[in-house]
Structure 1
């Protein structure tokens, strides 16, 4: 699509300084940073076979331009900065690759330095590995809520079969990454998950339609390159 080609070009141009810095620092930077790169790289290959059934829903919910970027989404970063400066609203701009790095390194401190470090590692990991493997590895260890560390525990504790649920149900599950399931489920939490699901249904309508008409249930969706 022409629109995606233009977006890819814009993202590539905006990402160029980050990509250059990532290559430089991941090769010659601090030992701690290089160690985290290698740690993340090793963990990419360790993932559950069940993760693939939530992969497309993850892209829709967390990183809808995943097929276009190189580990970071500069458009989301700019949008988040503009929203914070002019509207006073805080929103995330992390890609799937960044979230994976955060989980593996265990670093969550709310600092600009940590965020930039995370972005540089995410670019290097994206350069080394397939996006599908990064997404699956993230889903295999991400926190979905109480007693639900990773997709296998999510499936077991939710008493569901990921192969048999539809895309809307999958999106509701990935919403737990943003709003983890509490120890005691409340109506407020259920309403929050429902609202998140409905928001994504409206905001990502075209993606949902594409997913529903594909071999999604067999996890064969590949156009997002994740």
Structure 2
């Protein structure tokens, strides 16, 4: 019973993530994205070489979401030709950063801070003021298709019509096998098996209209 009696001491809630820590993580993410830009050596003036905040009709607002334990931390970055503003936890501050080797330096208006951030995939390990915090970047594009296969459910990505059913109920399939084709927005979308398993039921026939998010097939993983 030792653990149960001392649970509050042994497993304290995670300390809050302050503006400085989140700003370092955002700076590391932006620096990584800048390094991954496509560079066209034959055209140094190519617009794809630049990723500034300039927009024809104003600035750009971007929401970044990080996982911290069981918490989700939302950060907003507003940028325009005059600079950027970081908005987090009801605080707003001008935002700029520089990177020298492993050292990130962030300016938050009159506040200046620096630390180190090491990225392991989409997990950013932030080291600042003697503290280490792991923040998982929740990239909506990288995981956009995963929800379709949760719990063996295969759903319609948008409203459309079923134009082909490539399997029957009871069919054993391997991961990635095409199961059904639907037409939406004048494009064909192939729904594939999320894993090895069995198609237990076909829920729509060819020619039927389906709503966005509708389950198309029932699937059981092996």
TM-score (norm 2): 0.20
Q: Which has the higher strand share?
A: 2
Larger-Rg structure: 2
By relative contact order (CA 8 Å, sep 6+), the higher-ranking structure is 1
